[in-house]
């Protein structure tokens, strides 16, 4: 591998938190008197900032309502999100392999930093990640390159030596904006055909397929 640093998105790249996310959305919608959204519609918003996801699902841009939604979402997420987040079967082995080969690793995501820490701690994987940049760590969320560039700078890495791996077009756009190579996994809701709209080095079905070859 020509890279010395691999940085990942989190949801649908390293882990599946669908159950916690869906229950948190619908808990908040219930509190606000908004009709429940179906699981697939919510899945397709995962990776967006929560306010953008709310707008996509409701077509409502009322800031007061969005702030109330965010508060209710967090209330439920604090209860369920960590225990409902499952790392993919090959996540820990992939991260261990990278570390054993001397690579630096990171996570850049719109998800809250502390939730990533909680999830990784639950699976004994926190020490396999060198830096985490969450949604609250940046001024502008992905696809702005701010978080990815911050992670790269913190690791004292050169752009040419970095690979960013994600499951969505937001991740592809982020890598492009940061001028780093991108690899896609189809463990989320985005197909290989959709990824063809943006530069990538490879599209794989899972992390093992990429790092075992």
Is the omega angle on the peptide bond into residue 15 within 30 degrees of 0, that is, cis? no
122-172 per-position pLDDT tens digit: 999 999 999 999 999 999 999 999 999 999 999 999 999 999 999 999 999
What pLDDT does residue 1 have?
Answer: 74
66-88 per-position pLDDT tens digit: 999 999 999 999 999 988 999 99
What pLDDT does residue 7 have?
Answer: 98
What pLDDT does residue 171 have?
Answer: 98
What pLDDT does residue 124 have?
Answer: 93
- Percent of the chain exceeding pLDDT 70 equals 100
Mean pLDDT of 114-120: 95
pTM: 0.94
Q: What is the DSSP string of the chain?
A: ---SEEEE--BTTTEE-HHHHHHHHHHHHHHHTPPPPPHHHHHTTBTB-HHHHHHHHH----HHHHHHHHHHHHHHHHHHTTTT-EE-TTHHHHHHHHHHTT-EEEEE-SS-HHHHHHHHHHTT-GGG-SEEE-GGG-SS-TTSSHHHHHHHHHTT--GGGEEEEESSHHHHHHHHHHT-EEEEE-SSS--HHHHTTS--SEEESSHHHHHT-
Mean pLDDT, rounded, of the chain: 95
What pLDDT does residue 213 have?
Answer: 56
12-33 per-position pLDDT tens digit: 999 999 999 999 999 999 999 9
161-201 per-position pLDDT tens digit: 999 999 999 999 999 999 999 999 999 999 999 999 999 99
């Amino acid at each position: 591998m020509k890279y010395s640093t691999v940085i990942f998105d989190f949801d649908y790249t390293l882990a599946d938190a669908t159950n916690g996310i869906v229950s948190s959305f619908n808990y908040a919608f219930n509190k606000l008197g908004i009709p429940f959204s179906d699981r697939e519609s919510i899945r397709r918003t995962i990776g967006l900032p929560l306010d953008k996801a709310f707008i996509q699902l409701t077509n409502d841009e009322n800031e007061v309502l969005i702030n109330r939604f965010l508060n209710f979402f967090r209330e439920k997420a604090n209860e369920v999100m960590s225990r409902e987040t499952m790392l993919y079967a090959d996540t820990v082995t992939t991260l261990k392999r990278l570390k054993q080969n001397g690579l630096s690793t990171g996570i850049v995501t719109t998800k809250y930093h502390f939730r990533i820490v909680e999830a990784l701690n639950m699976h004994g994987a926190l020490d396999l990640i060198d830096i985490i940049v969450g949604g609250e760590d940046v001024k502008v969320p992905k696809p702005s390159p701010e978080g990815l560039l911050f992670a790269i700078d913190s690791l004292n890495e050169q752009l040419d030596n970095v690979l960013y791996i994600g499951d969505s077009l937001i991740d592809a756009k982020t890598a492009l904006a940061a001028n780093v190579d991108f690899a896609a996994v189809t463990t989320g809701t985005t197909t290989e055909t959709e990824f063809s709209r943006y530069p990538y080095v490879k599209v794989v079905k899972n992390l093992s397929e990429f790092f075992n070859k």
